[in-house]
Structure 1
Amino acid sequence: MSPTVFTKSGLRFHFFSREESRMHIHVTSQRGEAKFWIEPVIELAQNHGMSEVELKTASRLIKEHEDDIRKTWHLHFDR
């Protein structure tokens, strides 16, 4: 299961249900996918094909939606 947290600017922000416990979010574009750590700080963990512009946009949107991402993470994983 891969619940979508939100979509914006052609990017899909989502989680994978069966992955590591450190808080993070995946971002998918038409070009590729990236993974960003949310804790301890927001930072790029992996990039597979996304452009620098997409990564900057994703990082900005993650910072803007950080509270929603954290809330959705806890709702999904703290069962």
Structure 2
Amino acid sequence: MHIHVIFNGHEAKYWLEPQVELAKNTGIPEHKLNEIKTIVEKYADRFKEQFRQHVGKRIDD
């Protein structure tokens, strides 16, 4: 499972499992990547749960 983050027209992809890890960056400055990673780590469990709920709703329709 992963998440995409867009910042000033650039994009980063972070894996959420098995741990938060930068997978790809298309131009976001390093200092911003560190800030973003901190936020992603803080909310990783919430992101994963919301995704599971979203997918579950689609499956049940």
With the shorter chain as reference, the TM-score category is 0.7 to 0.9
Looking at structure 1, the residues matched to 33 and 42 of structure 2 have their Cα atoms a distance apart, in angstroms, of 14
Alignment deviations for residues 36-72 of structure 1 (CA, whole Å, 9 cap, x no partner): 0001111000000101011101100011111211111
Looking at structure 1, the residues matched to 14 and 23 of structure 2 have their Cα atoms a distance apart, in angstroms, of 5
Question: What is the letter of the counterpart of residue 29 of structure 1?
Answer: F
Selected match of 2:23 from 45, 53, 62: 45
Q: Report the CA distance shift for 1:31/1:51 in structure 2 as closer, same or farther (over 3 A).
A: farther
Looking at structure 2, the residues matched to 39 and 49 of structure 1 have their Cα atoms a distance apart, in angstroms, of 23
What aligned pairs does 1:1-79 form with structure 2 within 5 A after superposition? 23-78=1-56, 79=59
- After superposing on structure 2, the runs of 4+ consecutive aligned residues of structure 1 that deviate more than 4 Å are none
Segments of structure 2 that go 5 or more residues without pairing to the other structure are none
Q: How many residues are treated as equivalent by the alignment?
A: 57
Between the two structures, name the one with larger relative contact order (CA 8 Å, sep ≥ 6).
Answer: 2
